[in-house]
Structure 1
Amino acid sequence: MRRLAYAVLVLAVRGRRERGGDWGEAILAEFAETTGDREAVRWAAGGLRVMWHERRARRRELPRIVRIRRRVVLIVLIGLAVGLVVNRFVLTVGYVDNGSMETTYLIGDRYVVDLVAFRLTGVRRGDVVELNRPGTDRLLIKRVIGLPGDTVECRGGGVWLNGAPLDEPYLSPDPEYTRMEDCTATTVPPHQLYLLGDHRIVSEDSRKYGPVDEGALHGRVLLRL
Structure 2
Amino acid sequence: MRKMKKEDLLLEVLSYMRLIIVCLIVAFLLKTLVLKPVHVKGDSMYPTLQDDDIGLSNVFSMLSGGIQRFDVVVVKDHTTGNLIVKRVIGLPNERVEYREGKLYIDDQYVEEPFLDEAYMKEATKEQPYFTADVAPVVLGDDEYFVVGDNRVNSLDSRATGPYKESEIVSKDVYVLYPFSRFHLVMNGS
The TM tier, using the shorter chain, reads: 0.7 to 0.9
CA shift at 1:80, angstroms?
Answer: 6.6
- What's the counterpart of residue 104 of structure 1? 48
Aligned to 1:115: 59
Higher percent of residues as strand: 2
> Which residue of structure 1 lines up, in the alignment, with residue 141 of structure 2?
190
Instruction: Give the alignment of 1:48-197 within 5 angstroms.
Output: 82-173=26-117, 174-175=119-120, 176=123, 179-197=130-148
Match of 1:202 in 2: 153
SS of the aligned residue for 1:89 comes to: helix
| Segment of structure 1 superposing worse, 124-133 or 85-94 | 85-94
Q: Relative to structure 1, is the Cα distance of residues 200 and 93 closer, same or farther in structure 2, using a 3 angstrom cutoff?
A: same
Compute the displacement of 1:136 (Å).
Answer: 2.1
Name the Cα RMSD after superposition: 2.9
Query: What's the offset of the Cα at 1:186?
Result: 1.1
Cα distance in 1 for partners of 2:67, 2:33 equals 18
- Tell me the amino acid that sits aligned with residue 172 of structure 2: V
Give 5+ residue unaligned stretches, structure 2. Answer: 5-15, 177-189
Equivalent AA in structure 2 for residue 86 of structure 1: L
**Runs of 5+ consecutive residues of structure 1 not aligned to the other structure:** 1-16, 21-72
Give the one of 175, 178, 185 matched to 1:224.
175
Size of the aligned set, in residue pairs, is: 158
| Distance in 1 of aligned mates of 2:137 and 2:57 | 28
- SS at the partner of 1:87? helix
Contact 1:111 1:221 in 2 (8 A): no
Tell whether the 8 Å contact from 2:36 to 2:170 is kept in structure 1 after alignment. no
Structure having the higher helix fraction is 1
Q: Displacement of 1:211 after TM fit?
A: 1.2
Query: How many angstroms apart in 2 are the aligned matches of 1:115 and 1:160?
Result: 29
- Cα displacement (A) at 1:81: 5.6
1:5 equivalent in structure 2 = none
> What is the Cα deviation at residue 135 of structure 1?
2.8
**Percent of pairs with identical residues:** 27
Q: Secondary structure at the match of 1:85?
A: helix
Which letter maps to 2:99?
Answer: R
Q: Which has the larger radius of gyration?
A: 1
